[in-house]
Each structure stands twice: as structure tokens, then as C-alpha cells.
């Protein structure tokens, strides 16, 4: 089923530089799709050039831009450029706090994160992610994912957590997709259940780091939790 234009715009807002196969295919749906993609990419390029940042999305500065400006994508562009300059002079924390209300608890964080783009990413995450991409992102925190876990990952990107950057994954199961947020520096109460809207999140403590597994009630949380406990570890 082809992606609608409104859905395509939401996808671009979540990841303007996406080269996911679904996004590439959608650009061929009509001239308005291609134009929207070109405009979003051009804006990211101008913003990055103005701030003298590389478009390497593994860079921390680019992660700040990509995430902080997602919520303000529709602000006047001169305002976005000016806000970006604030990051350059070293007060990115002030900018982000003003733009997006920061969660005070793990419950608030998980719900806000999932509401931001969790549902959207579930609808488009239908491809197998390369082992190299998973390895590269996880290595940012000297972590690695086992082949058993990595083989189920259909989407991965860096994301914000309450304590710095983490990884947002979509994991394939026999009963649909689950969201997995890896939080390398966040401690949680092991086994805590957070319910909101139509989903629930299971928190997993991993010895100084943690993860949240998010899905619908009845999905195979236990099997994914076992994969997470045995499949995320420090590199030797």
C-alpha cells in the first residue's frame, strides 16, 4: 500500500534525511512528494551549513538539531536558524528546554518519546537493518547486540533519553512489531510496567543501563525481554 502525502510529510518531519526504502519509494508517488523531500533536505543542509556541522547523523551536534527541531519544523525558518546559533555558543540545553518540555520522570519520558514518533516508526519499519548499522550505533556506548536480537531489528536510530543519547529500535515478533528504547545511562526499576493510551511499556534494568519495551497488551514481551537481557552487553 502506497504512502499518503500527509503520512509522507509526517515521516519527513521525523527523519528529514531518511533513505529508508519506504521513503525512497514514496518519493516516486508524485511531484509533490519529491518536492517535499527536496525542500526538507535543503532546509537541513542550510541549517547544517550555517552551523558548520557535518550531516553525519552520528555526531552529537546533529542529533541535537535533528531531534530539537523536529518539534519546531514549522516555525519560520529564520527563527530555526537563529535558534541553531544558540547551540553553537554552547547553550543547547536552554534551547531544548524552551522548545520541548523535559520529562521529570521515566513514566513521562517513555510516554512522550513514544507519542513523538514511536507509532509512526512502527508503521514504516518493515525492512531488515544491516548488522553494520546496528553495530555502529551500539558502539557509540561500547555496547553490542547479539545476532539473535539484531536479526529482529527492522529500524534503528539514535534518540534522546533522560540521560543523554540512546537507541530507538523496532523489533519484529511473531505478533507484530515492538518498540525498544535502549537507555545506556538511565537506571529504572526492573520489571516496572507503564501503561498509557492503548500500549504498555515494560522496563528492564541492565546493570547501570536500561531498556523500555513498548507494545500492545498481549504481545510477546517476555520473549523480547529475554533477548534484551541476553543480547545487549558491553563490548569486550
- Per-residue model confidence (pLDDT) at position 37: 79
Top-tier CATH class for 106-234: alpha beta
- Per-residue model confidence (pLDDT) at position 80: 52
Residue that the C-alpha cell 540512546 belongs to: 166
Q: How far apart are CA 214 and CA 16, in angstroms?
A: 24
- Per-residue model confidence (pLDDT) at position 1: 58
What's the pTM?
0.64
- Per-residue model confidence (pLDDT) at position 70: 41
- Per-residue model confidence (pLDDT) at position 74: 45
Distance of CA 38 to the CA centre of its chain: 22
pLDDT per residue as tens digits for the range 53-86? 444 444 444 454 444 444 444 445 545 555 555 4
- Per-residue model confidence (pLDDT) at position 72: 45
- Per-residue model confidence (pLDDT) at position 39: 77
pLDDT per residue as tens digits for the range 14-46? 666 666 677 777 778 888 888 887 777 776 665
Q: Domain residues of the chain, as ranges?
A: 5-99, 106-234
Per-10-residue mean pLDDT of the chain, 236 residues long, equals 74 67 78 81 59 43 46 47 50 43 87 90 79 94 95 92 93 93 96 95 95 95 95 89
Class of residue 125 by CB neighbours under 10 A (exposed 0-12, middle 13-18, buried 19+): buried
Q: H or E stretch including 67?
A: helix 60-68
Residue 220 C-alpha cell reads as: 510477546
Residue 235 C-alpha cell reads as: 563490548
- Per-residue model confidence (pLDDT) at position 172: 92
Q: How far apart are CA 160 and CA 167, in angstroms?
A: 8
Sequence-distant (6+) residues with CB within 8 A of 74 are none
Q: How many residues does the chain have?
A: 236
**What are the residues facing 189 on neighbouring strands?**
none
Amino acid at each position: 500500500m502506497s504512502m499518503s502525502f500527509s503520512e509522507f510529510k509526517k515521516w519527513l518531519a521525523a527523519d528529514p534525511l531518511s533513505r529508508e526504502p519506504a521513503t525512497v519509494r514514496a518519493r516516486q508517488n508524485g511531484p509533490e512528494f519529491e518536492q517535499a523531500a527536496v525542500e526538507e533536505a535543503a532546509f537541513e543542509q542550510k541549517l547544517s551549513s550555517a552551523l558548520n556541522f557535518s550531516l553525519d547523523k552520528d555526531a552529537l551536534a546533529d542529533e541535537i538539531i535533528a531531534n530539537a527541531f523536529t518539534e519546531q519544523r514549522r516555525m519560520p525558518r529564520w527563527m530555526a536558524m537563529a535558534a541553531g546559533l544558540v547551540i553553537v555558543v554552547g547553550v543547547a540545553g536552554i534551547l531544548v528546554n524552551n522548545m520541548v518540555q523535559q520529562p521529570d520522570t521515566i513514566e513521562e519520558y517513555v510516554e512522550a518519546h513514544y507519542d513523538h514518533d514511536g507509532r509512526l516508526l512502527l508503521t514504516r519499519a518493515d525492512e531488515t537493518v544491516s548488522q553494520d548499522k546496528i553495530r555502529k550505533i551500539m558502539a557509540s556506548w561500547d555496547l553490542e547486540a547479539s545476532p539473535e536480537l539484531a536479526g529482529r531489528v527492522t529500524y534503528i536510530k539514535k534518540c534522546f533519553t533522560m540521560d543523554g543519547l540512546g537507541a530507538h529500535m523496532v523489533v519484529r515478533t511473531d505478533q507484530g512489531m515492538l518498540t525498544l528504547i535502549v537507555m545506556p545511562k538511565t537506571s529504572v526499576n526492573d520489571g516496572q510496567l507503564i501503561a498509557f493510551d492503548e500500549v504498555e511499556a515494560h522496563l528492564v534494568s541492565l546493570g547501570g543501563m536500561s531498556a523500555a519495551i513498548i507494545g500492545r497488551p498481549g504481545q510477546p514481551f517476555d520473549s523480547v525481554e529475554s533477548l534484551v537481557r541476553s543480547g545487549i552487553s558491553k563490548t569486550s
